[in-house]
Amino acid sequence: MSKLDEFLAGERLDDVVFYLSDAYLDDDSRLRNVGTETDDGVRLILDGETGRSAFEAGTGTGAMEFAKTAMGAEGTIDRALDGGECPFAEENPDADHDVRFVFAFAEAQNEEVGGLYAEGDVVHAYAHCTCGESYSHKWIVGDRDGDGD
């Protein structure tokens, strides 16, 4: 089982996933040496603190500040955490809508909070699009559709 599969299965709750597209990441970036190359970029799965630092180094933005900004719009982020569907594509059809970067973490089930969190561990994913907008998507670990709600 890959690190990504383990993360998506809720087995790496202390880790974060960070993806940068090739269009956003420099060819000689150090992140390419520590991450896994994908078809269109690099995915890193790191312990929480290291991952948040790598995210900030790679994007110039703090991970949690980015997440707070992205929570304002719900979109769809691919299960592989390296792509998605920008919710702003319809209102801005002339712009490109490719994922520039993604940050994701999983939160353990918490029945006291209720709602989605009472149903199981929850994956929180946040994406930044080439159109300049950011969006979020969350789902219950094991939810094959990734719909969340």
CA angle centred on 23, ends 14 and 146, rounded to 5° = 45
Task: Give me the mean pLDDT over the 57-77 stretch.
Answer: 94
Which residue did the predictor score with more confidence, 148 or 103?
Answer: 103
- What pLDDT shows up at residue 146? 47
Q: Tens digits of per-residue pLDDT, 23-46?
A: 888 888 888 888 888 989 999 999
H-helix or E-strand containing 117?
A: helix 116-119
Grade residue 145 by pLDDT with cuts at 50, 70 and 90.
low
Tokens, residue 16: 């974060």
Phi, psi of 143 (to 5 degrees): -75, 105
- pTM for this structure? 0.91
Residues in the chain: 149
Summarize the confidence of residues 9-15 as an average pLDDT: 95
> Considering the chain, what is the average pLDDT of its residues?
91
- 81-100 mean pLDDT: 95
Backbone region of residue 42 per phi and psi (left: phi > 0; alpha: psi in -120 to 50; beta: other values): beta
pLDDT score for 33: 83
Q: What is the pLDDT of residue 74?
A: 97
Check whether 70 has a pLDDT greater than 50.
yes
Residue 36 CA to residue 147 CA, distance in Å, equals 26
